[in-house]
Amino acid sequence: MDNEDVRFIDLFSGIGGFHLAFHNCGARCVFASEWNKHARSTYERNFRKMTPEIFDQGLFAEDITKVDIRSIPDFDVLCAGFPCQPFSQAGYKKGFSDDRGNLFFHIAEMLQEKQPKAFFLENVRHMLKHDGGRTFAIIKKTIEDLGYSFHHKMVKGTDFNIPQHRPRVFMVGFRGGSGDYAFPDPVPLTLTMSDILGGKCSKKVGYTLRVGGRGSDITDRRNWDSYEVDGKVIRLSVEQGKRMMGLPADFEFPVSNVQAMRQLGNSVVVPAVQAVAQTIVDTLRKPKP
């Protein structure tokens, strides 16, 4: 299939890191969902010009659990950074006992009903160890039982030239299998926090951006947004946070700085997602033997 024919949906979309990554690979978003009103505002501000039809045709859903799956346009790739709080080190690690954890099974239902060619899921690294590994085993088996291959890898921002570790589990699979699929190789890290902050920084790689704890003292173990630059303590700005997530300079936040930083803390590292997105698009474009 041609690159331009690859259609994807963007579930639990946040501010649109998956949308941006796949768009940069030539794919087209045909449906998206996000419940948070502030994130929805940022998403629409940045993607209305890029993909006007999902907004004009009512294809930007708020609560995915209330959407009739059959009404969603056909698509080739299901993308979802499904809610990570149930599996997060910072959360209560309730997993499937948390209603947000159960949203995974809605993804599985969508795979079963719509039968897309591929999926790309993302979550925090602690999902691998949650409940002694049983949570991840259930996710893997559920998807494989639906007839998909299942590949996973721990990917960090530093693997794709972003000076932020931010380890995340990427899960990719193809309907009917794709035994030769391989995640992209890492690239050298040449961008440092000194480049991000515009001065000599004491740290080469920055802290992982988070949702809570902003404004902690630089000596506090909870600190993630204070740095020493040219001998002075500075607080990470929204513009600098954008660069640490690989967002373009023209990406806009029509919300307060507090909300913008929260949204960045919930987002994905775009170059990492884009590198994997390109391998998915390339795999789908391969001629069938």
Active site residue 79: no
CA–CA gap between residue 44 and residue 46 (Å, rounded): 5
User: How do strand 232-235 and strand 226-229 relate by DSSP bridges?
Assistant: antiparallel
CA–CA gap between residue 247 and residue 252 (Å, rounded): 10
The active-site residue out of 29, 79, 84, 201 is 84
Residue 47 phi/psi, 5° resolution? -120, -5
Residue 153's beta-bridge partner residues?
A: 170
Give the count of beta carbons closer than 10 Å to the beta carbon of residue 23: 19
CA–CA gap between residue 191 and residue 101 (Å, rounded): 35
Q: At residue 55, what is the residue type?
A: F
Active site residues: 84
